[in-house]
């Protein structure tokens, strides 16, 4: 009787086992020193083997499929940029003018600031800084606000680009109001130790690419989705769809935010649990009903899509 109940639980809760395998993969990707491409190869091979064993042995197919989820989860960990907020940059974050050489680790969209001015927030990992003709190798995360006029917003700085510019860095700080958002902790969790700003025209793009090819592909897909949305809808509608579809609130106006807050529907502008649940349901249903693949494989693909 107990064995029958365990079998029914395994069949009726496929996402539980996939989530468990996903957690194991996070640990594996964190502590094992395999490269991202190594995990990618393992995940692909295991996924193919799982599909091959579907008709021969369902139990073996499920086990291999869950192993593929472990490898895919580890791949995601390895592909994402490191988030260690190195403090080696802090001695130079004293608002003195320094020359920074760095590469982009997180992109940002142009945000309207004034009628003729736009801002792009990007996260960088420094390679070296230059102070009074002295070059100092420093590796740390910084967030830079890039300002530009509206006729130059086509030059979006993208993941992996190497940049050189002069700026004044400062450490992030919080306002002392009770209950205020802990902005400094948020930046530290994302590996950011200092902040700065620069004009777009003052940035020199250096040759070469620094980063992860898989993350570059993911950033390209994200950017392509936003560009497609803006090509299909009017600006006001496209701004709302950016927030609802991919959680990008860059262009949502203050008036629109206030209207959503007053009606209690502001959660629609962010990728909340409801959005993730809808995406997971549609993905899993389409894979099972339209493509007709196995539950475990469909669950694995669903977890990767919503990640």
Q: What is the pLDDT of residues 17-42, one digit of tens each?
A: 778 888 888 888 888 888 888 888 88
pTM of the model: 0.60
Query: Which residues are CB-neighbours of 203 under 8 A, at least 6 positions away?
Result: 146, 157, 163, 164, 165
User: pLDDT value at position 248?
Assistant: 63
Tokens 């801002």, residue located: 119
230 vs 1, more confident = 230
Paired sense of beta strands 110-114 and 117-131, if any: antiparallel
- Residues of the chain with pLDDT > 70, as a percent, come to 67
- In this prediction, residue 9 carries a pLDDT of 44
| Backbone torsions φ then ψ of 255, nearest 5 degrees | -65, -45
What distance in Å separates the CA atoms of residue 71 and residue 59, rounded to the nearest whole number?
19
**What's the pLDDT tens digit per position in 120-163?**
888 899 999 999 889 999 999 999 998 887 655 545 788 899 99
Residues 162-176 have pLDDT tens digits of 999 999 999 888 776
Q: What pLDDT score does 207 carry? A: 92
130: phi then psi, degrees, rounded to nearest 5:
-130, 125
Query: Mean pLDDT over residues 180-205, rounded?
Result: 84
> Which of the two residues, 73 and 14, has the higher pLDDT score?
73
What are the φ/ψ torsions at residue 81 (nearest 5 degrees)? -65, 150
- Summarised one tens digit per residue, pLDDT across range 247-303 is 666 566 667 767 766 776 666 665 555 556 666 666 776 776 666 666 667 777 776
Q: What is the pLDDT of residue 95?
A: 85
């Amino acid at each position: 009787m107990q064995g029958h109940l365990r079998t029914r639980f395994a069949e009726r809760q496929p996402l539980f086992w996939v989530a468990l395998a996903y957690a194991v993969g996070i640990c594996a990707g964190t502590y094992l020193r395999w490269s991202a491409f190594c995990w990618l190869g393992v995940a692909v091979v295991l996924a193919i083997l799982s599909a091959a064993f579907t008709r021969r042995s369902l139990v073996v197919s499920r086990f291999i499929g869950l192993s593929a989820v472990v490898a895919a989860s580890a791949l995601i960990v390895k592909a994402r940029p490191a988030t260690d907020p190195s403090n080696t940059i802090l001695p130079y974050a004293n608002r003195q003018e320094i020359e920074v050489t760095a590469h982009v680790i997180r992109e940002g969209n142009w945000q309207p600031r004034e009628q003729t001015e736009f801002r792009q927030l990007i996260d960088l990992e420094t390679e070296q800084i230059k102070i009074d003709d002295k070059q100092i190798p420093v590796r740390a995360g910084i967030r830079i606000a890039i300002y530009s006029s509206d006729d130059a917003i086509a030059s979006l700085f993208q993941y992996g680009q190497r940049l050189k510019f002069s700026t004044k860095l400062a450490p992030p700080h919080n306002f002392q109001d009770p209950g205020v958002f802990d902005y400094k902790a948020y930046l530290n969790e994302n590996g950011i130790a200092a902040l700065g700003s620069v004009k777009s025209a003052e940035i020199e793009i250096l040759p070469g690419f620094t980063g992860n090819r898989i993350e570059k592909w993911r950033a390209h897909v994200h950017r392509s989705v936003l560009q497609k949305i803006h090509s299909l809808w009017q600006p006001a509608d496209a701004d709302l769809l950016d927030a609802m579809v991919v959680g990008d609130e860059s262009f949502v106006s203050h008036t629109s935010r206030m209207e959503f807050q007053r009606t209690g529907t502001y959660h629609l502008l962010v990728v909340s649990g409801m959005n993730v649940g809808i995406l997971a349901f549609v993905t899993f249903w389409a894979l099972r009903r339209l493509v007709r693949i196995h539950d475990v494989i469909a669950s694995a693909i669903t977890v990767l899509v919503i990640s």
